[in-house]
Amino acid sequence: MDSPIAWLLEGPPWIQYRTRLDLLDESKDSPQVLAAHKAMIADPQIQGLLAKLSNWPESTLTTHKAAGHPLHKLTFIADLGLDINDSGIDEILRRIVEHQSPEGPFQILVNISPKYGGTGQDQWAWMLCDAPLIVYALTKLGFKGDDQLQAAKRHLITLIRDNGWPCTVAPELGKFRGPGSKSDPCPYANLLMLKMLTTMASDSVEDVAKTATETLLDLWETRKQRRPYMFAMGTDFVKLKAPLLWYDILHVTDVLAHFPWTHSDPRFQQMTDIVQSKVDAQGRFMAESIWRDWKEWDFGQKRTPSHWITMVTLRMLNRCGKYCAPEG
C-alpha cells in the first residue's frame, strides 16, 4: 500500500499527534510533537469532550453500547494521549475515583431495569464490561493513586476462569448478568480486560493475558457455531468502526496486537488480513459503520477515508509486522 503519512499529518492535531508518536516514533519532547499536543488540547472537539467529562458521571449508564456515554469519551481521550498535566484532566479524575467499591473496582452510575434483574433505580456499581475501561483510562491519563489502581486491577484479574473472564458484576447488582450460559466467557469482558492489561508490565500478567487472548481467538475460530452472551462475529463485526468502544474487528485486533504471541497465530492473521483488505490505493481506510453520537468526527461518516481509522489501523498492522511505517 502507498504511505498515507503525509495525508495523516495534514489531519486534525490529534491525528498529527498520534501519527508522530505511533507511526513515526518521534519523541514526546520533539518540537513537532509538542506543537501537535498543544493544538490538540485547544481543538474545539477535544474541548467539547472535556467539558462533558467535567460533569462526570453526567448521565446514567443503561447500556454499555451507548456510544455517547462519558465512559467511552473518557476512554477516547485516554487513547488520544491526553494526561493529568492537561488542563481539566485532574478534576475529571478526582470525580471518577471518588467512587471506588470495597472490592476494588471503580464504580459508575448505572440503572438496571427490573426486567433484567435490576432495581430500576440509579446506583453506583461496577461490571466487568465497564470497570476495566475505567482502570485503563485512569492509567493512561496518568492518575497518581497507585494503591487505588492496584486494588482495582488485582480484584478484576482474580475473576478469571480457565476459559477467560465471565460476565461478572458488583455484589450490589445481585443476580443480574448478561444473556448467556454462566459457564461461557464474556467476549466483551475479555476484550476490555486485555485492554486494561496493555497498561501493565507484560511479564506480570502474561498467564492471564494468554488465557484471554486464546479465548478471543477461539471465539473467532468457532464464530459460526457460538455466540456467547449474544456477541456475534459476523457481517457487522468485520466492519471498520471508531472510536474503539464495542466488540468489533478493529477493536479486537488493535488489542490483540499488543501481545506478541498472537502475531503468528493463523486466527489472528485471518482477522488482520480482513482488515488490511479494506485499504484503498492511497493506503487509507474508511468507516464502514458509524456511531451516530460521533457523527461530527471524521470517523462519523462513510463517504471519505477517515484519518483516525487509518492511523489506528496502520498502528495495529505495524505492531504485528504487516505494515512498515516510514522512518521519522
Q: What is the pLDDT of residues 181-212, one digit of tens each?
A: 999 999 999 999 999 999 999 888 999 999 99
**CA-based nearest residue to 17, from 70, 77, 73, 68:** 77
SS3 299: coil
Neighbouring C-alpha atoms within 13 Å toward the C-beta of 276: 17
Q: What is the pLDDT of residues 294-304, one digit of tens each?
A: 999 999 999 99
Q: What is the pLDDT of residues 59-101, one digit of tens each?
A: 999 999 999 999 999 999 999 999 999 999 999 999 999 999 9
Q: Give the bridge partners for 125, in sequence order.
A: 108
CA pair distance 40, 218, nearest whole angstrom: 39
CA pair distance 275, 285, nearest whole angstrom: 9
Percent of the chain at pLDDT above 90? 90
Cell numbers found for residue 262: 498472537
Which string of b and e fits 47-58 if b means at least 16 CB within 10 Å? eebbebbeebbe
Answer whether residue 328 shows pLDDT above 70: no
Residue 106: band (very low, low, confident or very high) from pLDDT cuts 50, 70, 90: very high
Contacts of 307 (CB under 8 A, 6+ apart): 7, 8, 11, 12, 15, 298
CA pair distance 91, 8, nearest whole angstrom: 32
CA pair distance 20, 15, nearest whole angstrom: 9
User: Looking at residues 285-289, what average pLDDT do you find?
Assistant: 98
Answer whether residue 1 shows pLDDT above 70: no
User: Looking at residues 302-308, what average pLDDT do you find?
Assistant: 97
Give the helix/strand (H/E) hosting 37. helix 31-42
Answer whether residue 327 shows pLDDT above 90: no
Residues in the chain: 328
Q: What is the pLDDT of residues 163-186, one digit of tens each?
A: 999 999 999 998 788 888 999 999
Q: What is the pLDDT of residues 138-165, one digit of tens each?
A: 999 999 999 999 999 999 999 999 999 9
Q: What is the pLDDT of residues 29-49, one digit of tens each?
A: 999 999 999 999 999 999 999
**CA-based nearest residue to 250, from 179, 191, 167, 168:** 191
C-alpha to C-alpha distances, 131 to 97, 189, 258, nearest whole angstrom: 12, 9, 20
Query: Would you list the DSSP string of 146-178?
Result: HHHHHHHHHHHHHT-BTTB----B-GGGTT---
Q: What is the pLDDT of residues 227-257, one digit of tens each?
A: 999 999 999 999 999 999 999 999 999 999 9
Residue 3: band (very low, low, confident or very high) from pLDDT cuts 50, 70, 90: confident
CA pair distance 196, 140, nearest whole angstrom: 10
CA pair distance 254, 313, nearest whole angstrom: 8
Contacts of 230 (CB under 8 A, 6+ apart): 178, 179, 180
CA pair distance 233, 222, nearest whole angstrom: 9
Q: Reduced to 3 DSSP states, what percent helix, strand and coil does the chain have, rounded to the nearest 5? A: 50, 5, 50
Answer whether residue 321 shows pLDDT above 70: yes
Cell numbers found for residue 328: 521519522
Report angle CA 130, 131, 136 to the nearest 5 degrees.
100
